[in-house]
Chains A and B, each alone.
Chain A
Amino acid sequence: MSDLLQKLAVAAPPEEAEAAENRRARAIAAIGRTIADEARAKRTRTRFRVGSALAIAAAVAIAVGAYALTHRTTPIAKTPPTPSAPIAIPTVAPEVLAVRVSNGAMLHEHDPLETSSAALALTFPSTSRVDMTPSSHVMIDFLVSEEAMTLDRGEILVTCTHAFRVRTPGGDVVAKDAATFDVKIVDGKPRVRIDAGDVLVPAIKPPPHASAQHRDTSTLADQNALLQTALDARRRNDDAAAIASLDKLISKYPGSPLLQDARVERMRAYERSGRHAEAVTEAGRYLADFPSGYARDEAKALVIR
């Protein structure tokens, strides 16, 4: 039986350069997007931890102050000072600030969740419940100051016991108190059905509170499109159009995850179109910025020549 399995261990056959290039561009954009998302989530978690620690410290200070005030009548001078006992600082168990998923997983702030073909149920710390339909995508926003989540895609049924906020591309849907309502994203806008309670629904207009993540996604899509346009132009042997698109990508998004590819493509396009001096300049710049880049040998050859 093991020999049968080993028949699966074949090498992937080569494929057309165009397909491989397209996959590379897409994957690199996705990698950049995910790195940025993770960094943002990490920063938020850190801020939250610091905030929580300060809040706990403040609570302890208030409690100690209140205790001191209520015991002011005691004649302090008559009692010898006693060493104070260490103050136990309460800690918050991680699961208290987590959303329990019906499949057993636990979600924390800024964790995303996507359903495939099966529905899932989420239980918040306040016991509010959210039922996600298949093919829905949400992210937990806040769990402490308020309970809030973002719904990017699909449909959810919220049964909340306290105030609850659902962020959507078309605005926030807010329950002030216990309520039951359904939010569905249709053409990027929320469609809300209220079964019980007081729920504020946003007016349908262009997304005023589009999240930073959404903006980043659009930006990356734009970067991807510019690189793709340049690659298409190159395939048509239209190097001028390729250079124009790459110029735009490089000047508009100097920190793009596709920057290296754009610089390599521009260097090649200059060389193909006979603009050798500019190709050499580009190669030198590439080597300075990406000394270990994948096209370093090609760039070095250009500079030396």
Chain B
Amino acid sequence: MVEGGGAPIDAGPSDEEIVAAIASGDTRISAALYDRVAVVVDRTMYRVFGRREHDHDDLVQTAFEQIVRSLARSQFAGACSLTTWASTLATHVGLNALRSRQRERKVVSRDVEPPDPRGRDVEREIEARAELELVREALAAMTPEKAETLFLHDVEGLELAEIATLTNVSVAAAQSRLVRARRELEERVKGADHE
């Protein structure tokens, strides 16, 4: 479960009220929806790319457009909180963008920001950052289903049952996808290390 899920008491409209307002075409709910899930969407994008990229705001906006469409078209069945749903769609948008940049050979260019030279162990920090970039490259190279399952489970902290519901597969299928994704990630990262 993504933290921040559900509506605390006296914190504006409930998830159900937000969903109902969107389904009825009430644009006045826009700010409430943003305030409810913005932190999760922002954080997910940050985790996918490891920083706020130049088009971070565009990606956040795209994620919100997808969230609204899914709510307006009744794709959100209320099986999880709105924040979990938003996290899933933001992951989808973020990983798509990561994949597309990988294809364009623009993104994962190891152009990591230089570490602070005042740091205690600069070399180690560079190594750690490069390693995380390898993980991102591997995620971008996987099939969307595997990458999203892995990211939602191991990074966003969703439970397998939630992922199974959100991705419309059985728990066994989600688990199998997760195991295969982890194995593939390991192989890809090790393979890249040997190159």
Interfacial residues, chain A to chain B (CB-CB below 8 A): 1-2, 4-12, 15, 22-24, 26-32, 34-36, 38-40, 42, 116-117, 255, 257, 259-261, 292-294
Contact = CB atoms under 8 A, between A and B. Distances in A.
B52 interface: yes
Interface of B: 10-13, 22, 24-35, 38, 42-43, 46-47, 50, 52, 56-57, 60-61, 64-65, 68-69, 72-73, 100, 103-104, 128, 131-132, 135-136, 150-151, 154-157, 182, 185-186, 189
Given A117-B104, A261-B31, A1 B185 contact: yes
B158 to A, nearest CB: 12
A-B interface, 7 closest residue pairs, ranked by CB to CB distance from nearest = A39-B25, A38-B72, A12-B46, A257-B30, A5-B154, A31-B30, A32-B27
Contacts, number: 124
Contact of B60 (A27, A39, A40, A116): A27
B108 to A, nearest CB: 14
A9 B158 CA distance: 12
B42 A259 contact: no
Contact of A34 (B43, B47, B65): B65
Contact of A116 (B52, B100, B128): B100
Given A4-B132, A35-B29, A259-B28, A10 B47 contact: yes
* Chain B interface SS verdict (over half): helix
A117 B154 CA distance: 30
Given A31-B64, A34-B68, A5 B155 contact: yes
B131 A34 contact: no
Contacts of B32: 292, 294
Given A5-B155, A257-B31, 13 more contacts: A2-B154, A5-B154, A7-B132, A12-B43, A22-B57, A34-B65, A35-B68, A39-B24, A39-B72, A117-B103, A259-B28, A292-B12, A293-B12
Given A4-B131, A24-B38, A35 B30 contact: yes
A27 B186 contact: no
B69 A38 contact: yes
A260 B28 CA distance: 8
Contact of B128 (A7, A12, A26): A7
